Structure 1
């Protein structure tokens, strides 16, 4: 993975990322008492800004932490961060913790001063070889907590699942609960069978995906779309399987648990979706200003 970009934002200041420091008593460090958001930037323009920061606001409400900034303030903070790192294509990571108190108490502190952090990193590159062959995945049983809809930084289960995939030499772990597909360890999941696109519905077991929603909006124009439960048998018998994430758009999965999906190559529906996303990125990069 390439190194992150050099400038970050921390509690009202722009500083060198290597010099940024927080207290070891910060509740994000001690308890994972924090939430985060990730959004891509194309040509210096933030993609789906409103949707990503609506989701951040929702996550903050769910952990009973007041949003430290309005959407407009968040936009201004990130515009400056992107500009200080040279603009172009990248992605921004934002984290808000409940801050620190002098001690370690499970209950919320009486006075809260959130810790607000943001940094930028180069976007991952989907290589020509990956585009031709697609990605591979394994299925794993779900052992996460029951509020996966909150974009919490408490991601130990997801980290262990992603490492399980890495140990198996594949790109992603697709999470299964009671025989039904939830999502990937860091992605949303789609299946296509007989020209119909299906994806699991939002629930407490699934993180609402902003890139997922963008893909569904694009797909609605060209194919039937169903938001419903997807069984592991449907996943394995699909003509195509896709995963989506803010930093990677929509990518094809061509092998799961060692077996090919469909023809074992990226399918025609994914190629159309990839072209649609490319057009969307080009349109965004050519706009003169942000649209909050």
Structure 2
């Protein structure tokens, strides 16, 4: 099996040799943030937007980002080159670093830890993008600052395992009867009147980069977007449902809690949005 080259604090190393301190706060406290850029045709999708969100997330946690965007872009591109990646993702993880011991207080003098690695994955021809996914709901038990893209992903992992154990593909999280978002994506419905609905931006959800692009594409296609919360029952009776994320693009949801959406088949609107998203991503990729 070919081993990947990864980036760790300034060095490109074999993944088997990569290491960080056992006192790194990302490991001890989930004190870190991350981003993931899709890769199409060996190029990065929405890189600038992902770096803006990275800096916002880090700022909300008072983590300094001592690398500028050109430097981070060069690291991404070098990893693509070394790993010959044409399609997949590049993950970036930034933690507050290590103070050399375990202490709840932020260290006054610590160098942030920066790790990047690639992941090969079929994105354009992913089976889920064409056949759709089945989803179950789970209570949203995450913390109150979901708008920060932190590495503390235990509950989303638990929700995805609950979905797997139920024999379906993914989970939508629900709070007070309303869908917040998917375990690793933003949730959407298309109403019978032909309006796209996705939850408004707030501390309740992650401001998805793909979500923002789809809002732009919807406008270009003459579709009206309503940013508001929707219930599980509204989603189950919707004309179409789908999710958006960097790793899944625009993916149809064909079943929610055992109820078929659009007779259990991907709808025409989500198909058009997925096609346009892929076209636009290829056009704008760096």
TM-score (norm 1): 0.93
1:212 to 1:31, Cα distance in 2 relative to 1, 3 A: same
Instruction: Please give the residue correspondences for 1:114-263 in structure 2 after superposition, counting only pairs within 5 Å.
Output: 114-125=112-123, 130-193=128-191, 194-222=193-221, 223-263=223-263
Q: Counterpart in 2 of 1:78?
A: 76
CA contact (8 A) 1:6 1:16 kept: yes
SS at match of 1:19: coil
Distance 1:188 1:10 in 2: 30
Displacement of 1:133 in angstroms is 3.3
Structure 2, gaps ≥5 residues long: none
Bigger CA drift: 94-103 or 49-58? Answer: 94-103
CA contact (8 A) 2:129 2:248 kept: no
Equivalenced residues, count:
284
Distance 1:282 1:85 in 2: 20
Q: Counterpart in 1 of 2:109?
A: 111
CA contact (8 A) 1:39 1:47 kept: yes
Instruction: Please give the residue correspondences for 1:26-105 in structure 2 after superposition, counting only pairs within 5 Å.
Output: 26-105=24-103
- Residues 96-127 of structure 1: per-residue CA shift (max 9 Å, x gap): 11111221100001102011000001124576
1:67 to 1:176, Cα distance in 2 relative to 1, 3 A: same
CA contact (8 A) 2:242 2:252 kept: yes
TM-score (norm 2): 0.95
Displacement of 1:50 in angstroms is 0.7
Distance 2:146 2:3 in 1: 29
Displacement of 1:90 in angstroms is 2.0
1:200 to 1:10, Cα distance in 2 relative to 1, 3 A: same
CA contact (8 A) 1:4 1:122 kept: no
CA contact (8 A) 2:38 2:246 kept: yes
SS at match of 2:262: coil
Structure 1, gaps ≥5 residues long: none
1:127 to 1:257, Cα distance in 2 relative to 1, 3 A: farther
1:45 to 1:97, Cα distance in 2 relative to 1, 3 A: same
Distance 1:10 1:89 in 2: 22
SS at match of 1:22: coil
Q: Counterpart in 1 of 2:275?
A: 275
CA contact (8 A) 2:87 2:122 kept: no
